[in-house]
Amino acid sequence: MSPRRVVITGTGVISPVGLDTATFWQSLLGGRSGVGPITFFDPSEHATQIAAEIPDFDPLNYMDRKEARRNDRFVQLALAASQEATRQAGLSSAQIPAERMGVIIGSGIGGFSTIFEQIQVLLEKGPSRVSPFTVPMMISDMAAGMISITYGAKGINYCTTSACASSAHAIGESFESIRRGIVDVMITGGSEASVVPMSIAAFNAARTLSCRNDEPERASRPFDAERDGFILGEGGAILVLEALESAQERGIPILAEMVGYGATADANHITAPAPGGAGAVQAMRLALAQAGLRPEDVDYLNAHGTSTLLNDIAETQAIKAVFGRHAPNLPISSTKSMVGHLLGAAGAMESIVCIETIRHGVIHPTTNYEHPDPECDLDYVPNQPRQADVRVALSNSLGFGGHNVSLIFSRYEE
Protein backbone atom coordinates (compact mmCIF):
# COMPACT_ATOMS: atom_id res chain seq x y z
CA MET A 1 0.00 0.00 0.00
CA SER A 2 1.40 3.40 -0.94
CA PRO A 3 1.76 5.95 1.89
CA ARG A 4 -1.36 7.97 2.57
CA ARG A 5 -1.51 11.74 2.25
CA VAL A 6 -1.78 13.60 5.58
CA VAL A 7 -3.59 16.90 6.07
CA ILE A 8 -4.15 19.30 8.94
CA THR A 9 -7.77 19.85 9.96
CA GLY A 10 -7.40 21.73 13.25
CA THR A 11 -5.00 23.88 15.26
CA GLY A 12 -5.07 25.27 18.79
CA VAL A 13 -2.74 27.67 20.56
CA ILE A 14 -2.26 28.93 24.11
CA SER A 15 0.65 31.35 23.95
CA PRO A 16 2.20 34.41 25.62
CA VAL A 17 0.66 36.56 22.85
CA GLY A 18 -2.76 34.98 22.44
CA LEU A 19 -5.09 32.29 23.77
CA ASP A 20 -6.21 31.06 20.36
CA THR A 21 -4.68 30.61 16.93
CA ALA A 22 -6.18 33.76 15.38
CA THR A 23 -5.07 36.08 18.20
CA PHE A 24 -1.65 34.47 18.30
CA TRP A 25 -1.23 34.94 14.56
CA GLN A 26 -2.34 38.57 14.53
CA SER A 27 0.01 39.31 17.45
CA LEU A 28 2.94 37.90 15.50
CA LEU A 29 2.09 39.95 12.43
CA GLY A 30 1.95 43.03 14.64
CA GLY A 31 5.35 42.29 16.17
CA ARG A 32 3.87 42.02 19.65
CA SER A 33 6.22 40.67 22.30
CA GLY A 34 5.05 38.39 25.10
CA VAL A 35 8.23 38.89 27.12
CA GLY A 36 8.08 40.79 30.41
CA PRO A 37 9.17 40.73 34.06
CA ILE A 38 8.62 37.40 35.78
CA THR A 39 5.48 37.49 37.93
CA PHE A 40 5.13 33.80 38.91
CA PHE A 41 7.78 34.17 41.64
CA ASP A 42 10.21 36.75 43.00
CA PRO A 43 13.14 36.69 40.52
CA SER A 44 15.25 39.34 42.27
CA GLU A 45 18.06 36.93 43.14
CA HIS A 46 18.32 35.58 39.59
CA ALA A 47 20.55 36.92 36.83
CA THR A 48 17.58 36.64 34.45
CA GLN A 49 14.37 38.24 35.71
CA ILE A 50 12.26 38.13 32.53
CA ALA A 51 10.29 35.44 30.69
CA ALA A 52 7.39 34.94 28.28
CA GLU A 53 4.60 34.02 30.71
CA ILE A 54 0.87 33.61 29.98
CA PRO A 55 -0.54 35.68 32.86
CA ASP A 56 -4.11 35.73 31.52
CA PHE A 57 -4.49 31.94 31.27
CA ASP A 58 -7.20 30.66 33.63
CA PRO A 59 -7.59 26.86 33.55
CA LEU A 60 -11.13 27.18 34.89
CA ASN A 61 -12.15 28.55 31.49
CA TYR A 62 -11.34 25.12 30.06
CA MET A 63 -11.95 22.58 32.83
CA ASP A 64 -13.57 22.25 36.22
CA ARG A 65 -11.74 23.08 39.45
CA LYS A 66 -11.16 19.44 40.38
CA GLU A 67 -9.53 18.63 37.04
CA ALA A 68 -7.43 21.79 37.19
CA ARG A 69 -6.11 20.92 40.66
CA ARG A 70 -5.10 17.41 39.57
CA ASN A 71 -3.13 18.50 36.50
CA ASP A 72 0.15 20.33 36.24
CA ARG A 73 0.12 23.60 34.30
CA PHE A 74 1.74 21.98 31.26
CA VAL A 75 -1.18 19.53 31.04
CA GLN A 76 -3.68 22.37 31.50
CA LEU A 77 -2.12 24.25 28.59
CA ALA A 78 -2.24 21.16 26.37
CA LEU A 79 -5.87 20.43 27.23
CA ALA A 80 -6.85 24.04 26.58
CA ALA A 81 -5.12 24.13 23.19
CA SER A 82 -6.65 20.77 22.26
CA GLN A 83 -10.15 22.17 22.73
CA GLU A 84 -9.67 24.70 19.94
CA ALA A 85 -7.94 22.21 17.63
CA THR A 86 -10.51 19.43 18.03
CA ARG A 87 -13.39 21.88 17.72
CA GLN A 88 -12.03 23.22 14.44
CA ALA A 89 -11.51 19.66 13.19
CA GLY A 90 -15.06 18.72 14.18
CA LEU A 91 -13.95 15.70 16.19
CA SER A 92 -16.74 15.93 18.77
CA SER A 93 -19.34 14.88 16.22
CA ALA A 94 -17.08 12.76 14.02
CA GLN A 95 -17.80 9.06 13.68
CA ILE A 96 -14.16 8.02 14.00
CA PRO A 97 -13.57 4.60 15.63
CA ALA A 98 -11.72 5.11 18.91
CA GLU A 99 -8.97 2.70 17.86
CA ARG A 100 -8.32 4.77 14.72
CA MET A 101 -7.53 7.98 16.62
CA GLY A 102 -4.28 8.46 18.52
CA VAL A 103 -2.40 11.06 20.56
CA ILE A 104 1.30 11.99 20.68
CA ILE A 105 2.23 15.10 22.69
CA GLY A 106 5.78 16.31 23.19
CA SER A 107 7.16 17.91 26.34
CA GLY A 108 10.79 18.53 27.13
CA ILE A 109 10.43 18.72 30.90
CA GLY A 110 6.84 17.86 31.83
CA GLY A 111 5.54 18.80 35.27
CA PHE A 112 8.52 20.83 36.39
CA SER A 113 6.45 23.12 38.62
CA THR A 114 4.94 20.11 40.39
CA ILE A 115 8.38 18.57 40.94
CA PHE A 116 9.74 21.85 42.30
CA GLU A 117 6.75 22.45 44.61
CA GLN A 118 6.61 18.92 46.00
CA ILE A 119 10.35 18.80 46.72
CA GLN A 120 9.82 21.93 48.78
CA VAL A 121 6.92 20.25 50.58
CA LEU A 122 9.09 17.19 51.28
CA LEU A 123 11.96 19.26 52.69
CA GLU A 124 9.83 21.67 54.71
CA LYS A 125 6.91 19.48 55.91
CA GLY A 126 8.06 15.89 55.55
CA PRO A 127 7.18 12.90 53.33
CA SER A 128 3.66 12.48 54.71
CA ARG A 129 2.62 15.81 53.21
CA VAL A 130 3.69 15.07 49.62
CA SER A 131 0.63 15.07 47.33
CA PRO A 132 -0.67 11.68 46.13
CA PHE A 133 -1.07 13.30 42.71
CA THR A 134 2.64 14.14 42.44
CA VAL A 135 3.57 11.31 40.08
CA PRO A 136 0.69 11.69 37.59
CA MET A 137 1.14 15.46 37.65
CA MET A 138 4.90 15.42 37.02
CA ILE A 139 5.39 12.74 34.37
CA SER A 140 5.84 14.07 30.85
CA ASP A 141 3.37 11.68 29.21
CA MET A 142 0.37 12.95 31.16
CA ALA A 143 -0.62 15.59 28.58
CA ALA A 144 -0.92 12.81 26.00
CA GLY A 145 -2.73 10.61 28.50
CA MET A 146 -5.25 13.27 29.51
CA ILE A 147 -6.02 14.24 25.91
CA SER A 148 -6.54 10.57 25.10
CA ILE A 149 -8.94 10.22 28.04
CA THR A 150 -10.77 13.44 27.18
CA TYR A 151 -11.46 12.51 23.56
CA GLY A 152 -11.67 8.75 23.90
CA ALA A 153 -8.71 8.17 21.59
CA LYS A 154 -7.64 4.53 21.92
CA GLY A 155 -5.05 4.37 19.17
CA ILE A 156 -1.32 4.92 19.52
CA ASN A 157 -0.60 7.15 22.53
CA TYR A 158 2.68 8.36 24.00
CA CYS A 159 4.96 11.32 24.73
CA THR A 160 8.08 12.40 22.88
CA THR A 161 10.85 13.96 24.96
CA SER A 162 13.79 15.31 23.00
CA ALA A 163 14.36 18.72 24.60
CA CYS A 164 13.53 21.55 22.19
CA ALA A 165 12.65 19.10 19.40
CA SER A 166 10.02 17.24 21.45
CA SER A 167 6.82 18.46 19.80
CA ALA A 168 8.37 18.43 16.32
CA HIS A 169 9.13 14.75 16.89
CA ALA A 170 5.55 14.27 18.09
CA ILE A 171 4.17 15.77 14.88
CA GLY A 172 6.59 13.81 12.72
CA GLU A 173 5.76 10.49 14.36
CA SER A 174 2.04 11.26 14.16
CA PHE A 175 2.48 11.96 10.45
CA GLU A 176 4.21 8.62 9.97
CA SER A 177 1.52 6.77 11.94
CA ILE A 178 -1.14 8.06 9.56
CA ARG A 179 0.95 7.53 6.43
CA ARG A 180 1.47 3.87 7.38
CA GLY A 181 -2.22 3.31 8.07
CA ILE A 182 -1.88 2.67 11.80
CA VAL A 183 -4.50 5.37 12.57
CA ASP A 184 -6.67 7.82 10.66
CA VAL A 185 -6.52 10.83 13.01
CA MET A 186 -3.83 12.09 15.38
CA ILE A 187 -4.08 14.79 18.03
CA THR A 188 -0.50 15.97 18.35
CA GLY A 189 1.72 18.88 19.37
CA GLY A 190 3.42 19.96 22.57
CA SER A 191 3.18 21.76 25.87
CA GLU A 192 5.61 23.28 28.34
CA ALA A 193 5.25 25.27 31.57
CA SER A 194 8.64 25.60 33.21
CA VAL A 195 8.91 29.24 34.30
CA VAL A 196 9.93 28.25 37.83
CA PRO A 197 12.93 29.30 39.94
CA MET A 198 14.87 26.09 39.32
CA SER A 199 14.68 26.32 35.52
CA ILE A 200 15.72 29.98 35.48
CA ALA A 201 18.61 29.23 37.84
CA ALA A 202 19.68 26.16 35.87
CA PHE A 203 19.60 27.83 32.46
CA ASN A 204 21.47 30.80 33.94
CA ALA A 205 24.10 28.43 35.29
CA ALA A 206 24.47 27.10 31.75
CA ARG A 207 24.75 30.70 30.49
CA THR A 208 22.03 30.26 27.90
CA LEU A 209 19.45 32.88 28.98
CA SER A 210 19.37 36.56 28.08
CA CYS A 211 20.04 38.92 30.98
CA ARG A 212 18.61 42.00 29.27
CA ASN A 213 16.26 42.63 32.21
CA ASP A 214 15.88 46.37 31.66
CA GLU A 215 14.25 45.95 28.23
CA PRO A 216 12.40 42.61 28.18
CA GLU A 217 10.57 43.16 24.88
CA ARG A 218 13.91 43.61 23.13
CA ALA A 219 15.73 40.75 24.86
CA SER A 220 15.00 37.94 22.39
CA ARG A 221 16.83 38.90 19.20
CA PRO A 222 17.56 35.89 16.98
CA PHE A 223 20.38 36.33 14.45
CA ASP A 224 21.13 39.85 15.76
CA ALA A 225 24.79 40.53 16.52
CA GLU A 226 23.95 41.67 20.07
CA ARG A 227 21.97 38.57 21.09
CA ASP A 228 22.91 37.29 24.53
CA GLY A 229 20.73 34.23 25.02
CA PHE A 230 17.17 32.96 24.76
CA ILE A 231 14.06 33.89 26.73
CA LEU A 232 12.19 31.10 28.49
CA GLY A 233 8.53 30.88 27.47
CA GLU A 234 5.52 28.68 28.14
CA GLY A 235 2.57 27.50 26.09
CA GLY A 236 0.66 24.75 24.38
CA ALA A 237 0.14 24.09 20.66
CA ILE A 238 -1.97 21.27 19.25
CA LEU A 239 -2.64 20.11 15.69
CA VAL A 240 -5.11 17.59 14.34
CA LEU A 241 -3.49 15.51 11.60
CA GLU A 242 -5.75 13.36 9.48
CA ALA A 243 -5.62 10.99 6.52
CA LEU A 244 -6.79 12.85 3.43
CA GLU A 245 -9.54 10.35 2.66
CA SER A 246 -10.85 10.62 6.24
CA ALA A 247 -11.06 14.42 6.02
CA GLN A 248 -12.74 14.20 2.62
CA GLU A 249 -15.30 11.68 3.86
CA ARG A 250 -16.13 13.96 6.78
CA GLY A 251 -16.29 17.04 4.56
CA ILE A 252 -14.09 18.99 6.97
CA PRO A 253 -12.09 21.99 5.69
CA ILE A 254 -8.39 21.26 5.11
CA LEU A 255 -5.93 23.87 6.38
CA ALA A 256 -2.74 22.52 4.79
CA GLU A 257 -0.95 19.29 3.97
CA MET A 258 2.07 17.81 5.73
CA VAL A 259 4.51 16.36 3.22
CA GLY A 260 7.92 15.86 4.84
CA TYR A 261 9.63 14.79 8.08
CA GLY A 262 13.34 14.44 8.71
CA ALA A 263 14.96 13.54 12.04
CA THR A 264 18.65 13.11 12.88
CA ALA A 265 21.18 13.26 15.71
CA ASP A 266 24.37 15.32 15.91
CA ALA A 267 26.19 12.74 18.06
CA ASN A 268 28.43 15.65 18.98
CA HIS A 269 27.82 17.50 22.29
CA ILE A 270 25.24 17.74 25.08
CA THR A 271 24.32 21.34 24.26
CA ALA A 272 26.35 22.71 21.34
CA PRO A 273 25.22 22.06 17.75
CA ALA A 274 27.46 20.08 15.42
CA PRO A 275 29.94 22.16 13.41
CA GLY A 276 28.27 23.70 10.41
CA GLY A 277 24.88 22.47 11.65
CA ALA A 278 25.60 19.07 10.08
CA GLY A 279 22.71 17.31 11.82
CA ALA A 280 20.26 20.01 10.80
CA VAL A 281 21.53 19.78 7.22
CA GLN A 282 20.72 16.09 7.07
CA ALA A 283 17.30 16.56 8.73
CA MET A 284 16.28 19.17 6.15
CA ARG A 285 17.53 17.00 3.29
CA LEU A 286 15.61 13.97 4.57
CA ALA A 287 12.40 16.02 4.85
CA LEU A 288 12.85 17.41 1.33
CA ALA A 289 13.50 13.95 -0.09
CA GLN A 290 10.40 12.48 1.54
CA ALA A 291 8.32 15.38 0.22
CA GLY A 292 9.77 14.97 -3.27
CA LEU A 293 10.82 18.63 -3.28
CA ARG A 294 13.91 20.49 -4.43
CA PRO A 295 15.43 23.14 -2.13
CA GLU A 296 14.22 25.92 -4.43
CA ASP A 297 10.63 24.70 -3.98
CA VAL A 298 10.62 25.95 -0.37
CA ASP A 299 9.07 29.43 -0.10
CA TYR A 300 9.53 30.07 3.63
CA LEU A 301 11.56 28.69 6.52
CA ASN A 302 10.61 29.05 10.17
CA ALA A 303 13.94 28.85 11.94
CA HIS A 304 14.70 27.33 15.31
CA GLY A 305 16.32 30.75 15.86
CA THR A 306 16.86 30.77 19.61
CA SER A 307 18.84 34.03 19.99
CA THR A 308 21.88 32.14 21.26
CA LEU A 309 25.31 32.65 19.75
CA LEU A 310 26.12 29.14 18.55
CA ASN A 311 22.64 27.99 17.49
CA ASP A 312 21.92 30.94 15.22
CA ILE A 313 25.29 30.64 13.47
CA ALA A 314 25.02 26.85 13.04
CA GLU A 315 21.48 27.04 11.70
CA THR A 316 22.46 29.76 9.24
CA GLN A 317 25.34 27.59 8.02
CA ALA A 318 23.00 24.61 7.71
CA ILE A 319 20.47 26.59 5.65
CA LYS A 320 23.24 27.73 3.30
CA ALA A 321 24.46 24.15 2.89
CA VAL A 322 20.99 22.82 2.04
CA PHE A 323 19.62 25.65 -0.08
CA GLY A 324 22.75 26.83 -1.81
CA ARG A 325 22.07 29.65 -4.27
CA HIS A 326 18.44 29.75 -3.11
CA ALA A 327 19.45 30.52 0.49
CA PRO A 328 19.84 34.32 0.13
CA ASN A 329 16.37 34.51 -1.46
CA LEU A 330 14.63 32.33 1.13
CA PRO A 331 12.57 34.31 3.69
CA ILE A 332 13.35 33.13 7.23
CA SER A 333 11.81 34.21 10.51
CA SER A 334 12.04 33.25 14.17
CA THR A 335 8.83 33.10 16.19
CA LYS A 336 10.95 33.00 19.35
CA SER A 337 11.74 36.69 18.89
CA MET A 338 8.24 37.38 20.25
CA VAL A 339 7.14 34.39 22.35
CA GLY A 340 10.50 33.25 23.68
CA HIS A 341 11.61 29.64 23.66
CA LEU A 342 8.83 27.23 24.59
CA LEU A 343 11.28 24.33 24.80
CA GLY A 344 9.31 21.16 24.06
CA ALA A 345 6.29 23.07 22.74
CA ALA A 346 8.26 25.26 20.32
CA GLY A 347 8.14 22.94 17.32
CA ALA A 348 4.36 22.59 17.43
CA MET A 349 3.73 26.32 17.78
CA GLU A 350 6.12 27.03 14.92
CA SER A 351 4.43 24.38 12.78
CA ILE A 352 1.16 26.25 13.25
CA VAL A 353 3.02 29.41 12.16
CA CYS A 354 3.97 27.63 8.93
CA ILE A 355 0.35 26.61 8.35
CA GLU A 356 -0.94 30.14 8.97
CA THR A 357 1.74 31.56 6.68
CA ILE A 358 0.59 29.27 3.87
CA ARG A 359 -3.07 30.09 4.49
CA HIS A 360 -2.75 33.86 4.70
CA GLY A 361 0.14 34.65 2.38
CA VAL A 362 2.08 36.76 4.86
CA ILE A 363 5.32 36.09 6.77
CA HIS A 364 5.68 37.31 10.32
CA PRO A 365 8.85 39.27 11.14
CA THR A 366 11.88 38.44 13.22
CA THR A 367 11.65 41.28 15.71
CA ASN A 368 14.58 43.05 17.41
CA TYR A 369 16.83 42.47 14.42
CA GLU A 370 18.89 45.68 14.54
CA HIS A 371 22.59 44.79 14.25
CA PRO A 372 23.56 42.48 11.37
CA ASP A 373 25.90 39.64 12.30
CA PRO A 374 28.41 38.82 9.52
CA GLU A 375 27.99 35.15 10.36
CA CYS A 376 24.17 35.37 10.14
CA ASP A 377 23.69 37.03 6.78
CA LEU A 378 20.44 35.65 5.33
CA ASP A 379 16.99 37.20 4.90
CA TYR A 380 15.43 37.03 8.38
CA VAL A 381 12.41 39.22 7.48
CA PRO A 382 13.49 41.91 9.96
CA ASN A 383 10.94 43.78 12.08
CA GLN A 384 8.08 44.05 9.54
CA PRO A 385 5.71 41.41 8.15
CA ARG A 386 5.97 40.63 4.47
CA GLN A 387 3.33 39.62 1.93
CA ALA A 388 4.37 36.47 0.09
CA ASP A 389 2.83 33.63 -1.87
CA VAL A 390 3.94 30.70 0.28
CA ARG A 391 3.11 27.26 -1.07
CA VAL A 392 5.75 25.28 0.85
CA ALA A 393 7.05 26.03 4.36
CA LEU A 394 9.75 24.25 6.37
CA SER A 395 10.13 24.35 10.17
CA ASN A 396 13.33 23.48 12.05
CA SER A 397 13.59 22.31 15.66
CA LEU A 398 16.98 21.61 17.24
CA GLY A 399 17.34 20.30 20.79
CA PHE A 400 19.96 19.86 23.52
CA GLY A 401 21.44 16.41 23.13
CA GLY A 402 21.83 16.91 19.38
CA HIS A 403 18.24 16.26 18.27
CA ASN A 404 17.27 17.72 14.88
CA VAL A 405 13.83 17.71 13.27
CA SER A 406 12.59 19.32 10.07
CA LEU A 407 8.92 19.37 9.12
CA ILE A 408 7.50 20.46 5.76
CA PHE A 409 3.98 21.75 5.15
CA SER A 410 2.42 22.68 1.84
CA ARG A 411 -0.73 24.23 0.47
CA TYR A 412 -3.34 21.54 0.00
CA GLU A 413 -4.11 20.82 -3.65
CA GLU A 414 -6.32 18.11 -5.09
- Is 360 noted as a catalytic residue in this protein? no
Calculate the alpha carbon distances from 373 to 207, 222, 316, 341, 369 in Å: 20, 10, 11, 21, 10
The mean-pLDDT minimum among 25-34, 92-101, 193-202, 376-385 falls in 92-101
Domain final position from 183, 217, 250: 250
What pLDDT sits at residue 93?
74
On whether both 282 and 246 belong to a single domain, the answer is: no
Give Cα 251 distance to the centre of its chain.
28
Statement to judge: residues 267 and 236 lie in one domain: no
Q: Confirm if 160 and 110 have CB atoms less than 8 A apart.
A: no
Domain boundary among the residues 198, 227, 250 is at 250
- Is 297 among the domain residues? yes
Assess whether 241 and 278 both reside in one domain.
no
The answer to the question of residue 1 being in a domain is no
Q: What's the one-letter identity of residue 252? A: I
Mind listing the pLDDT tens digit for each residue in 314-364?
Answer: 999 999 999 999 999 999 999 999 999 999 999 999 999 999 999 999 999
Confidence band of 2 (pLDDT split at 50, 70, 90):
confident
Same structural domain, 159 and 42: yes
pLDDT at 256 over 90: yes
Contacts of 45 (CB under 8 A, 6+ apart): none
User: How long, in residues, is the chain?
Assistant: 414
Please tell me the predicted confidence (pLDDT) of residue 246.
Answer: 97
Q: Which amino acid is at 229?
A: G
Share of the chain above pLDDT 90, in %: 98
341 given a catalytic annotation: yes
Residue 287 lies in a domain: yes
Are residue 283 and residue 398 in the same domain, yes or no? Answer: yes
The 10s digit of each residue's pLDDT in 401-412 is 999 999 999 999
Q: How many angstroms separate the CA atoms of 411 and 323, rounded?
A: 20
- Classify residue 44: in a domain, yes or no: yes
Which candidate in 341, 354, 364, 376 is catalytic? Answer: 341
* CATH value at residue 11: 3.40.47.10
pLDDT of residue 233: 98
Kindly give the interhelix angle for 112-125 and 73-88, rounded to the nearest 10 degrees: 150
Residue 257 lies in a domain: no
Domain co-membership, 87 together with 128 = yes
DSSP H or E run through 114:
helix 112-125
For residue 148, the model assigns a pLDDT of 97
Q: Which of 222, 250, 278 is the last residue of a domain?
A: 250
Is 333 domain-assigned? Answer: yes
* Residue of 164, 354, 364, 376 marked active site: 164
Number of domains in the chain: 2
Q: Rounded to whole angstroms, what are the CA distances from 172 to 7, 257, 407?
A: 13, 13, 7
> How does the average pLDDT of the chain come out, rounded?
97
Question: Does residue 44 sit in the same domain as residue 181?
Answer: yes
Residues 142, 86 within the same domain: yes
What's the pLDDT score for residue 95?
83
* Domain contains 377: yes
Is 304 noted as a catalytic residue in this protein? yes
Cβ contacts of residue 167 below 8 Å, gap of 6+? 105, 106, 107, 160, 188, 189, 190, 191, 237, 344, 345, 346, 347, 348, 349, 351, 397
Q: What's residue 375's pLDDT?
A: 97
Residue 309 placed within a domain: yes
Q: How confident is the model at residue 414 (pLDDT cuts 50, 70, 90)?
A: confident
pLDDT computed for residue 178 by the predictor: 98
Candidates 46, 304, 364, 403; catalytic one: 304
What's the burial of 166, exposed, middle or buried (CB within 10 Å: 0-12/13-18/19+)?
A: buried
Distance CA 43, CA 36 (A): 12
**Is there a contact between 144 and 159 (Cβ–Cβ < 8 Å)?**
yes
Query: Domain residues for 394?
Result: 262-410
pLDDT at 130 over 90: yes
Is 179 in the same domain as 145? yes
Mark whether 274 and 222 lie in a shared domain. no
Average pLDDT, stretch 149-177? 97
Structure confidence at residue 92 (pLDDT)? 82
Collect all residues with Cβ–Cβ distance below 8 Å to 72 and sequence separation of at least 6: 110, 111, 113, 114, 137, 138, 142, 193
Cβ(238)–Cβ(74) under 8 Å? Answer: no
Q: In this structure, are 216 and 286 located in the same domain? A: no
Look at residues 295, 287, 296, 268 and name the one whose alpha carbon lies nearest to residue 399: 268
